[in-house]
Amino acid sequence: MEIKLKKAITFEGKEIKTINLDLEGLTGEDMAQAEREYFATGGHPVVPLLTSSGFCAVLASRATDLPFEAIRALPIKDCHRVVSETQAFLLDTES
């Protein structure tokens, strides 16, 4: 899924206008690694974890070619859209 950003950002010298969020390409191992990464960044267990915006941002970074820090650097509305699309995918709902 391609998400066109409302406001382009520059991250590590590269202008980002769109994000290709390939959630279908992820595996259970990606989810487990994203969970470990989320906890390593200071994230706390949430029930259910799939609704945590921090966890979904980490997982979304794994579904793109962008690091977690780039997802966090997005303007709030764009970050929310990326996180919401990831949550909807995991919960099998439409955002």
- pLDDT tens over the chain, length 95 residues: 999 999 999 999 999 999 999 999 998 899 889 989 989 988 887 767 788 889 999 999 999 989 999 999 999 999 999 999 999 999 888 76
SS3 27: coil
Q: How far apart are CA 23 and CA 31, in angstroms?
A: 11
The one-letter amino acid code at 84 reads S
Question: Distance (Å, rounded) from C-alpha 48 to C-alpha 73?
Answer: 25
Please state, in angstroms and rounded to a whole number, the distance separating the CA atoms of residues 31 and 55. Answer: 9
Report the candidate in 42, 3, 40 with the shortest Cα–Cα distance to residue 71: 3
CB 76 within 8 A of CB 11: no
